[in-house]
């Protein structure tokens, strides 16, 4: 027998099964067929869920390993608590030391080294500024 004859014989047997035997089988044993198909679908769904869970677990393990490796690479850079927190404040403040002794009364000669006249030498400059500001204010008045 040649290969062509084998193929022809196989296809005719399958056609005969589909046309004659299968319809009778499905009609007489409908409950068994439905239970078999349902069981096969259930097994396929469970297999699919199992594959997804295994893949998720593998990804989780890989990501945890990568995260641990990254965290371990930063361990030498960790900040010590002494550097992270501010030191305690001292209880006692340093004593205030004035640059001169306080006086009860002042004379003109005592105040002269500390006094600077704001208009001295800049009288024209201040007058021009004040005049410009007053002119601006007066323009806004109806």
The answer to whether residue 60 sits within a structural domain is yes
Number of domains in the chain: 1
Give per-residue pLDDT as tens, 54-87.
Answer: 998 888 988 888 888 888 877 777 677 777 777 7
Domain that holds residue 49: 7-69
C-alpha–C-alpha distance, residues 124 and 114, integer Å: 24
C-alpha–C-alpha distance, residues 107 and 104, integer Å: 10
The answer to whether residue 126 sits within a structural domain is no
The answer to whether residue 26 sits within a structural domain is yes
Q: What is the pTM of this model?
A: 0.35
The answer to whether residue 13 sits within a structural domain is yes
Report the candidate in 52, 50, 51, 70 with the shortest Cα–Cα distance to residue 62. 70
The answer to whether residue 30 sits within a structural domain is yes
The answer to whether residue 127 sits within a structural domain is no
The answer to whether residue 58 sits within a structural domain is yes
């Amino acid at each position: 027998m040649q290969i062509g004859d084998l193929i022809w014989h196989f296809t005719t047997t399958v056609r005969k099964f589909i046309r004659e035997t299968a319809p009778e089988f499905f009609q007489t044993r409908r409950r068994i067929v439905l239970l078999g198909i349902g069981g096969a679908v259930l097994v396929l769904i469970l297999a699919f869920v199992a594959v997804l869970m295994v893949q998720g677990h593998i990804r989780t393990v890989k990501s945890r390993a990568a995260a641990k490796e990254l965290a371990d690479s930063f361990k030498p850079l960790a900040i010590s608590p002494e550097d992270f927190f501010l030191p305690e404040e001292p209880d006692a403040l340093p004593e205030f030391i004035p640059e001169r002794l306080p006086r009860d009364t002042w004379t003109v000669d005592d105040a002269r080294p500390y006094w600077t006249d704001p208009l001295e030498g800049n009288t024209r400059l201040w007058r021009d500024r004040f005049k410009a500001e007053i002119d601006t204010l007066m323009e806004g008045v109806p």
